Amino acid sequence: MKRRTFLQLGGMTAAGALLAGCQAENEKLIPFLIPPDEGVTPGRAVYYASACRACPAGCGILVRVAEGRAKKIEGNPLHPVNRGKLCARGQALVQELYHPDRIRQPLKRSGPRGTGTFTPITWDEGLSLLAGRLKALQRDRESDRLALLTPPLQGAMAELAAGFLRAFGSPQHGTFELLAPDWLRTAQRQCFGAATLPWYDVAETRYLLSFGADFVEAHLSPVHYGHAFGRMRQHRDTVRGHFTYVGGRMSLTGASADRWLPARPGSEGTLALGLARLLLDAEWHDAAALAAHGLQRDEMLRHLAGYDLDRVAEETGLPAAAIAEVAREFASTRPSLAMVGEAVAFQSNGPEAVRAILLLNLLAGNLDRPGGVYPAGGGPGPEQTFSELFPLIAKMRDGGIKVALIQGNPVHAIPPATGFQAALAGVPFIVSCATLLDDTALEADLILPDHAALESWGEVIPQAGGRAGVVGLMQPVVTPVCDSRPFPDLLLATAQELGGKVAAAMPYPSYLELLKAVTRRRLDPAGGSDFAPVWANLLRQGGDFPPLGDSVPDYRWRSDAAFPAPARARFAGAEQEFPLHLQVYPASAFYDGRGAPFPWLQQLPDPMTTVVWDSWVEINPATAAGLGIGHGDLVEVTSPQGALRLPAVLYPGIRPDLVAIPLGQGQRGGGRYAQGRGGNPLTLLAATVAGVAPQPAWHATRVRLTRVSAQGELVTAGHPQGSYRSDLLGI
């Protein structure tokens, strides 16, 4: 062929290809094979009211469903907790439903534990495997060797689980959750007599003082309080509420404040009592409130003798003038409000510090009044889920547990220093009811996959965020995507397989029937009226939202309540060897890790550091300069418990003696998006602090930093690849 001919042919081919590229393809129209269920019209969306269980706040959601697919989630405007608003974690629930790595059918382990080698089996096989193990326990009179591990349960689900365990004959039910507000219930019980959670009237307050309560991101009910905070700032014509934040790390909440008081970690209780003394000394306190609660000013001043301004300023590391000014503002701006959060509670002296802050509210006359604090923001709840974990772990370690039935992901969300992971490895038969192959499912011998939230029936009782007894209802919005079964129905099916008195104790054909029965009993104890229209209406509006009744409980200081006396904070790790304090906090996208499997949340830049698809350690620039660490360097964080390598973020909004790591990443499993990404700071934490009773003290560990290299591979939203990690998403 001549060179000229070759070029001509080549040119023609290129032109042909170019023209063919211009030719737009006609799209395809794919009809249904058989007519869909009634109510499905192609092109028309249907909205289902349901409830979100992505965190314990329990917001109401509306799900848009078109052609039988869940497309979009927004807040339910009728729900009193979130009033139509919704956070990113709630929006991402659709990604739980359609996650490409969902467990599609029951699996049986076929390789060594933890390697993730499983064989698909049928539900009949799976159920008979589980029932076989349980029958063996019954036969050997070892019924108490079954342990159930779940998140804290409420309502019908709690009744079901308790009924199952009672009928089977096992008392082992672990309901530990890392960020559960047990500490606040305990403090409320010790001070006021009832183990409930408070409800803060943030919207109407004029002076908000938050002691480490990150209510915009995670504390109690973030959507509720985030919305209330917006109203506090903007909805009144002449008043813009003032906000002071106390805490060593400037969180997103802290960044929204007018004043940031970076108190030394563990000194917040001292600060609260110092403020209390300033109030009482200057007689700025609410004398009527003091009298009503049966407290005397002189006696309190005697307790507060050691909390003079100089000592408080020295211990907290804050300027005395700033403390005095906050005391004056807090007392003179009524109504004012003090909140207390995890940054304080998870110190070794947390329980007493929390009580000191409750007392501060009493002194300023903030209890039971608009713009203040009300009791019973949620019903009574558990208080000791952490200390109850230790006997269970000990039992597992000593071979006292033969079957562990697990919902949730405790292997990732319990600090390994408690010995949980090691003890679980010794349990002969582990059953996981996960939707994804998460860290716990990887350790399991049998996986019986759970429905996603959008496929399940259920009850979501918000833990806080309202004063009246709100009950949200979850309803399935789509037909199940996988061959999964809801966890409560699994318990019922297992009871049927077991037969005998276990089956007799659980006569419900399905969890839905139990849910209806429980709801009916609550709404209509006499049982006279027709329940069907009531139920239909509950499903339509997304739950039961009763108005605030007349018989509202009031706060009353217990006459036998001890005066709060926070001891000096103790820490695990010697100060010489481990000079820095460590704070772990729920990442706004992941909470305690359950958001990490969803790419929308991985892609969501952290609001303070803009980091995406990773975890990091926040270091004050001055500290970093002293250690020769630059932004984005890889550093090793070492604690008495272990070490973790993370990229460094130089963050001016943190005390020089404090470093912070977000929770949620560092999962071994959890699907393709979470797997092996970042590090889990829980591996660094000490389980208990010497000289302190077992309590969740997640901020009482000291660490040291070492620079490893300049290759931290930190990816931020401003970074060229950070804004769009298409390689990770596969699009």
Partner 1 sequence: MKKKWLIVGTVVAAGVVGAGLGLFYSLPLDLRDRSPRQPLAFSHKLHAGANGIHCLFCHRAAPLSPLAGLPTLADCLDCHRFIAPEAPEIKKLQAFWDRREAIPWVRVYSLPDHVYFSHQMHLHAGVACNACHDDVAGMERVTRSASLKMGWCLDCHRRQRATIDCWTCHI
Binding site for partner 1 (CB under 8 A): 22-35, 41-44
As measured in angstroms, the least distance from the Cβ of 72 to partner 1 is 16
Helices (H), 588-628: 599-603, 621-627
As measured in angstroms, the least distance from the Cβ of 167 to partner 1 is 43
| Sheet containing 259-261: order of strands | 259-261, 242-246, 207-211, 336-340
Q: Rounded distance, CA 145 to CA 405, Å?
A: 11
As measured in angstroms, the least distance from the Cβ of 216 to partner 1 is 32
Nearer to partner 1, 29 or 536 (CB): 29
Nearer to partner 1, 3 or 28 (CB): 28
Owner of token pair 């003890």? 423
Nearer to partner 1, 72 or 568 (CB): 72
As measured in angstroms, the least distance from the Cβ of 18 to partner 1 is 13
Both tokens of residue 305?
A: 């003798």
As measured in angstroms, the least distance from the Cβ of 14 to partner 1 is 18
Cα–Cα separations (whole angstroms), residue 279 to 282, 340, 653: 6, 19, 29
Q: Rounded distance, CA 513 to CA 649, Å?
A: 52
Whether the CB-CB separation of 648 and 616 falls below 8 Å is answered with yes
Cα–Cα separations (whole angstroms), residue 248 to 4, 261, 325, 347, 589: 76, 8, 19, 12, 21
Nearer to partner 1, 67 or 657 (CB): 67
SS3 string, 538-556, reads HHHHCEECCCCCCCCCCCC
SS3 string, 228-260, reads HHHHHHHCCCCCCCEEEEECCECCHHHHCCCEE
What are 658's strand-pairing partners? 581
As measured in angstroms, the least distance from the Cβ of 65 to partner 1 is 14
As measured in angstroms, the least distance from the Cβ of 25 to partner 1 is 8
Nearer to partner 1, 71 or 302 (CB): 71
Residues whose CB is less than 8 angstroms from the CB of residue 494 and which lie 6 or more positions away in sequence, other chains included: 127, 130, 131, 134, 164
Amino acid 406 reads: I
Q: Which is nearest to 330 in space by CA: 367, 366, 359?
A: 366
Q: Rounded distance, CA 616 to CA 645, Å?
A: 9
Q: Dihedral sign, CA of 117, 123, 129, 135? A: positive
Nearer to partner 1, 140 or 483 (CB): 483
Q: Rounded distance, CA 272 to CA 290, Å?
A: 17
Cα–Cα separations (whole angstroms), residue 702 to 658, 689, 706: 9, 11, 14
Both tokens of residue 551?
A: 């018989």
Beta strand pairing status for 107-109 and 69-75?
Answer: unpaired
Nearer to partner 1, 6 or 32 (CB): 32
As measured in angstroms, the least distance from the Cβ of 36 to partner 1 is 8
Beta strand pairing status for 242-246 and 259-261?
Answer: parallel
Nearer to partner 1, 27 or 298 (CB): 27
As measured in angstroms, the least distance from the Cβ of 15 to partner 1 is 15
Cα–Cα separations (whole angstroms), residue 394 to 55, 397, 473, 640, 730: 29, 5, 37, 22, 44
Q: Which is nearest to 618 in space by CA: 657, 674, 562?
A: 657
As measured in angstroms, the least distance from the Cβ of 123 to partner 1 is 23
Residues whose CB is less than 8 angstroms from the CB of residue 9 and which lie 6 or more positions away in sequence, other chains included: none
Q: Rounded distance, CA 511 to CA 522, Å?
A: 16
How remote is the C-alpha of 42 from its chain's centroid? 37
Amino acid 686 reads: A
Nearer to partner 1, 22 or 532 (CB): 22
Nearer to partner 1, 5 or 23 (CB): 23
As measured in angstroms, the least distance from the Cβ of 62 to partner 1 is 20
Q: Rounded distance, CA 92 to CA 454, Å?
A: 11
Nearer to partner 1, 1 or 29 (CB): 29
Whether the CB-CB separation of 632 and 617 falls below 8 Å is answered with no
Nearer to partner 1, 30 or 532 (CB): 30
Both tokens of residue 688?
A: 């208990």
As measured in angstroms, the least distance from the Cβ of 45 to partner 1 is 10
Owner of token pair 């907290």? 316
Nearer to partner 1, 46 or 158 (CB): 46
As measured in angstroms, the least distance from the Cβ of 502 to partner 1 is 41
End-to-end Cα distance, the chain? 42
Nearer to partner 1, 37 or 530 (CB): 37
As measured in angstroms, the least distance from the Cβ of 22 to partner 1 is 6
Nearer to partner 1, 22 or 690 (CB): 22
Strand locations in 448-488 (E): 458-460, 471-474
As measured in angstroms, the least distance from the Cβ of 34 to partner 1 is 4
Nearer to partner 1, 22 or 305 (CB): 22
As measured in angstroms, the least distance from the Cβ of 474 to partner 1 is 28
Q: Which is nearest to 366 in space by CA: 444, 284, 422?
A: 284
Nearer to partner 1, 25 or 530 (CB): 25
